[in-house]
Amino acid sequence: MATYDLEEQEQIAEIKAWWKQYGNLVAAIVTAVAVGFAAWQGWNWYQRSQAAQAGQVYAALQKAVAEKDPQRIKAASGELFEKYSRTAYAPLAALLAARVLNDTGDAKTAKLQLVWVVENGKDELRDLARLRLASLLLDEKAYDEALKQLDVAAGSAFTARFQDMRGDILSAQDKTGEARAAYQAVLAKLDEADAAGKGGDTLQDTRAHAAYRESVLQKLDALAEPHS
């Protein structure tokens, strides 16, 4: 049988007393940490599993797009909305499906796809969906609805594009003065980008930037007041 000196016996007594007072709390904390870690691991596994499955459905959607099969496009995008709406694939699928469906003459379903992204997407994807939805509404001459899509604060990457689309809608409404102001706002944004050295990092980007400026200038010139 082990024997302890007086100092060791006092230390053991202190440990026993501390454990008697705090043992249940320590055990509870350890259990909570273990459960939390297991839950975190489980959630990560679930997220990876969802992403992998959504990726397979998105691949099927891309194949349907390549083969120009509207029914399979609708089925694949619908599955992503219903089962994998929290993954990054869902808004991407909606944007892709909307473009193809509109090109094949199904503007109604295309609009539903874009509305889903507006309501469920984030940041640039939501802005892009608003811009495309406004374009479809412009084609339908639903001018007020189109303007409502642009009546939000867009991210910096879309500010100029929102103003450009606003100018197109106002021009279609024969609101020449407001349309000109919108196009001038686009040019001001492009000037800011040039001044900040953001006109394009590559030659291709620079040419695209210049071509876009030229297209806006042409729209503005078309609205010039006739000389008397």
Domain-wise residue ranges, the chain:
153-228
Contact 101, 110 (CB under 8 A): yes
CA atoms of 149 and 169, how far apart (whole Å): 11
What pLDDT band is residue 227 in, cutting at 50, 70 and 90?
A: very low
Return the residue matching tokens 């929102």: 162
pLDDT band, residue 81 (cuts 50/70/90): confident
CA distance 107 to 133: 10
Query: CB-side exposure of 58: number of CA atoms within 13 Å?
Result: 19
Whether residue 43 has pLDDT greater than 50: no
Cα(174)–Cα(157) distance, integer angstroms:
28
- Is the pLDDT assigned to residue 130 strictly greater than 90? yes
Maximum average pLDDT range among 35-44, 85-94, 181-190: 181-190
- Mean of the per-residue pLDDT values for the chain? 82
Distance CA 35, CA 193 (A): 51
pLDDT tops 50 at residue 1: no
Which range among 8-17, 135-144, 183-192, 202-211 has the greatest average pLDDT? 135-144
Residues 6+ apart with CB under 8 A from 183: 163, 164, 167, 216, 219, 220, 223
Note the pLDDT of residue 192: 85
- Per-residue confidence (pLDDT) for residue 3, from 0 to 100: 54
Written out in words, the top-level CATH class of the domain with range 153-228 is: mainly alpha
Residue burial 59-90, b: 16+ Cβ < 10 Å; e: rest: ebbeebbeeeebeebbebbebbbeebeebebb
Cα–Cα distance for residue pair 87/102, rounded to 1 Å: 24
Tell me the pLDDT band of 42, cut-offs 50, 70 and 90.
Answer: low
Question: What number is the average pLDDT over the span 131-142?
Answer: 95
The pLDDT value given to residue 170: 96
Tell me what pLDDT residue 46 has.
Answer: 46
What is the Cα–Cα distance from 112 to 136, expressed in whole angstroms? 11
pTM of the model: 0.72
